[in-house]
Structures are given as structure tokens and as C-alpha cells.
Amino acid sequence: METIPLTILIVMFAVYLGIFLARTSPSILPKNFCSSDEDCEWKITNCCPENAGAKWECVNKKTFVPPECPGLIICPQVISPKPAKACVCKNGECVVR
């Protein structure tokens, strides 16, 4: 009879520990993991500017690592403004809405 409360306590502790580790250990989380809309942002991922072919992606701004751009880069001469759609956090991932 005394093992039931102990078992429940162990299960609750394991669940709490799993949630804690998931929120604090970025190495086991997806690169784009987020906890709120403020974590997500549109970023250019191909080294080209807005006025010359920028490739925009909805990413986690806390974990985003800008690409290493070469000294000379050829970009398409196409205006690529920041997308008007929202970049938000949904189910723990930065997505376009």
C-alpha cells in the first residue's frame, strides 16, 4: 500500500525533470525551438540584402547563427523585402502564419 504514493511521487518527479531539461538544455531541443512569439523573427539566411535577392527564414532569434558570408557574393538583382506574414511560435517551433 505504501508503494503507490512513492510510485506516484517518482513519476511526478520524472515528468518535472523531463520538462525542466527540455526547457533548459538547447542541445536536445530542435534548433528552431521557441517558447513564445518573441523568440521568433525573420532573418536573412543567404548573405544577400533586401534589395538584391535576400532569402528570408522564420527562425529563433536566440539560436540563429548568421551564415559566414564570403567577401564576394553574387546576388540576384531582385528586391526581396521582409515577408509580411507573421513569424510566430507554435507548438514549440518558429513557423510562418
Reported as a single tens digit per residue, the pLDDT across 12-49 is 666 555 555 555 555 555 666 999 999 999 999 999 99
Bridge partner residues of 58 (DSSP): 42
| pLDDT given for residue 92 in this prediction | 95
Compute the distance between CA of residue 27 and CA of residue 14 in angstroms, rounded to an integer. 19
pTM of the model: 0.67
Q: Average pLDDT in the 80-95 region?
A: 97
Mean pLDDT of 44-58: 96
Q: Is 20 helix (H, G, I), strand (E, B) or coil?
A: helix
Q: Where are the domains of the chain?
A: 1-30, 32-97
Q: How far is CA 16 from the centre of its chain?
A: 23
pLDDT reported for residue 15: 53
- Rounded to whole angstroms, how far apart are CA atoms 84 and 17? 39
Which positions ≥6 away from 18 have C-beta within 8 Å?
A: none
Higher-confidence position of 95 and 18: 95
Q: Does the pLDDT of residue 80 top 80, yes or no?
A: yes
- In the predicted model, is pLDDT for residue 69 greater than 90? yes
